[in-house]
Structures are given as C-alpha cells and as structure tokens.
C-alpha cells in the first residue's frame, strides 16, 4: 500500500484520482503531544507552562518588569513611579504653654517633626505654615488642646486656613464645653482639601468669632509633657 493510500484510509477523504495540488484534508488533525524534555522538566497544563526557570529575553534590563498592553502584547518596561500620595506628607507639632491671640495663626514650637521634600517649605520651630509644592488633593488633620484665654465658658473654634484668608465652613471645627471657664478643651478636625502649588496652609484660632485668645494646655497633674497642637498634611491625589 502506498503512503498516499494509507493517508487516504486513515486521515483524509478525497477521490481515488487526485494530485498533490488537489489534496484537501478534512476533519480534525491530532497534533503530537509536547515533549516534556524540551521544557526542561516543565509541564504543559491547561494552556499554561509550569517550570522552575524561564528566560524570555537574551537582552535583559535590570529591574524592568514584563508589561501587557490592551491587546495582550508584552514588553519590558521600567517599574512605575510610586503613588502620588507618597510625594508630600508632613506633621507639625507644638508643646509649649503659649497663648494664641484672637484670630492668630497657631505656631508649632517643635516645628515639623516628620516631612519629606513634597513641600516648598514646612514649619520650623515656632513656624505656622506649610507651603504646597505640588497641586492636588490633600488629607489633613489638626488637634488643639487649650483653655479659654479670657476665662469665658465657650467652645474652642479652630480652622484650617489657606493663604491666611477666612476659612471655608467645611474647615471649621469646635470643641465641647468644659466644666469651668478655665478647663482645658480639645478640638479635633480632619478633612480633604484641593490645594494649588504655592498655597500656604495654616491653623487659625477663631474662638468666639476671632475675638478670644486661647492658652495651650500645660502638663496635667501627674502626667508628662506632650503635644497640645498638631497639623498633618498628606497628598493623596
């Protein structure tokens, strides 16, 4: 039996009289199984390759990662930059028992104890402001512990301000009331704010519509000195 006739009997359907140019094979053709040795002890399993080592380029670049485009084509690309939220963060702290005048910006006598290069400038000792280096959305939190400087029974009112102008309502925070006019009060505020490069961000005492001074708390009886005003800024977008 000829090889062509054997092929006819086993795999193909065509007339007895046929030339090689007229051959049309129909039906499924079974491909040979993968040779496991070719994969160096790897395995082909459900459209995947399992292997302990794999080299996909002979011209590597150190620390590049294999990246797919929208069509599934892969190429070697550098590792992306870290998220923008890591590019600006700072934490300013005050501890002294100074007085903040009515309507005054609050100073941080310990300065900025944690910051990176994401700001044009940050509060030095007894400074008041962060100057924004990159426009974006920032998360902030502030804390003030103080007594009413005029010995009046009224809540602290503290605001985050930008460029030393009047604060937006969303950035004004109040404490509760103490048992007496000179009892220490605590005001805590937090939020998100859109800032532009060169904006100046500060905390202002606006207690009693900016008419009353406040005195930052001293060391409590039996306690130790600690922060009595803080401001944290962090860029998130």
What pLDDT shows up at residue 15?
Answer: 54
Mean pLDDT, the chain, rounded, equals 82
User: Which of 30-44, 47-61, 81-95, 173-187 comes out lowest in average pLDDT?
Assistant: 30-44
The arithmetic mean of pLDDT across residues 158-183, rounded, is 90
**What are the domain boundaries of the chain?**
3-77, 84-235
**Percent of the chain's residues with pLDDT above 70:** 77
For the chain, what is the radius of gyration of the CA atoms?
36
What pLDDT shows up at residue 36?
Answer: 46
Task: Categorize the per-residue pLDDT at 79 as very low, low, confident or very high, splitting at 50, 70 and 90.
Answer: confident
- CA-CA-CA-CA torsion sign (155, 160, 162, 163): positive
Q: Which one, of 193, 204, 197, 205, lies nearest residue 233 by Cα?
A: 193
pLDDT score of 234 more than 50:
yes
The residue with greater pLDDT, 205 or 61, is: 205
Architecture of the domain spanning 84-235: Sandwich (2.60)
pLDDT score of 101 more than 90:
yes
- Between CA 231 and CA 93 the distance in angstroms is 7
Each residue of 108-167: pLDDT tens digit? 999 999 999 899 999 999 999 999 999 999 999 999 999 988 777 889 999 999 999 989
C-beta of residue 201 within 8 angstroms of C-beta of residue 130 = yes
Phi, psi of 60 (to 5 degrees): -75, 160
Each residue of 2-56: pLDDT tens digit? 555 555 455 555 455 555 555 555 555 555 554 544 445 555 566 677 777 777 7
What pLDDT shows up at residue 75?
Answer: 86
- Between CA 215 and CA 232 the distance in angstroms is 21
The arithmetic mean of pLDDT across residues 212-227, rounded, is 86
Q: Which one, of 197, 199, 235, lies nearest residue 115 by Cα?
A: 235
Task: Categorize the per-residue pLDDT at 68 as very low, low, confident or very high, splitting at 50, 70 and 90.
Answer: confident
The arithmetic mean of pLDDT across residues 204-215, rounded, is 95
- Between CA 66 and CA 77 the distance in angstroms is 6
Residues facing residue 48 across a β-bridge: 45
C-beta of residue 126 within 8 angstroms of C-beta of residue 108 = yes
What pLDDT shows up at residue 42?
Answer: 55
pLDDT score of 199 more than 80:
yes
What pLDDT shows up at residue 29?
Answer: 52
DSSP line for 66-122: EEE-TTS-EEEEPPPPPPGGGS-EEEEEE-S--EEPTTPBPPBTTEEEEE-TTEEE-
């Amino acid at each position: 039996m000829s090889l062509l006739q054997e092929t006819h009997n086993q795999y193909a359907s065509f007339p007895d009289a046929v030339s090689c140019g007229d051959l049309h094979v129909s039906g499924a053709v079974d491909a040979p199984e993968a040779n496991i040795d070719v994969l160096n002890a790897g395995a082909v399993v459900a459209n995947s390759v399992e292997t302990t080592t794999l080299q996909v380029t002979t011209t590597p670049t150190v620390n590049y990662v294999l990246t797919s485009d929208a069509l599934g084509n892969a190429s070697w690309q550098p590792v992306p930059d870290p998220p923008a939220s890591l590019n600006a963060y700072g934490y300013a702290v005050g501890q002294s028992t100074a007085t903040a005048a009515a309507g005054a910006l609050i100073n941080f006598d310990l300065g900025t104890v944690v910051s990176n290069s994401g700001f044009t400038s940050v509060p030095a000792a007894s400074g008041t402001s962060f100057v924004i280096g990159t426009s974006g959305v920032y998360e902030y939190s502030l804390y003030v512990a103080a007594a009413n400087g005029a010995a009046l029974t009224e809540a602290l009112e503290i605001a985050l301000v930008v460029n030393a102008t009047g604060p937006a309502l969303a950035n004004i925070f109040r404490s509760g009331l103490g048992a007496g006019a000179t009892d220490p009060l605590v005001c805590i505020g937090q939020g998100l704010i859109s800032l532009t490069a060169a904006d100046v961000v500060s905390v202002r005492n606006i207690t009693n519509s900016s008419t009353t001074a406040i005195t930052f708390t001293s060391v409590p009886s039996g306690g130790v000195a600690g922060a009595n005003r803080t401001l944290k800024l962090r860029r998130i977008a």
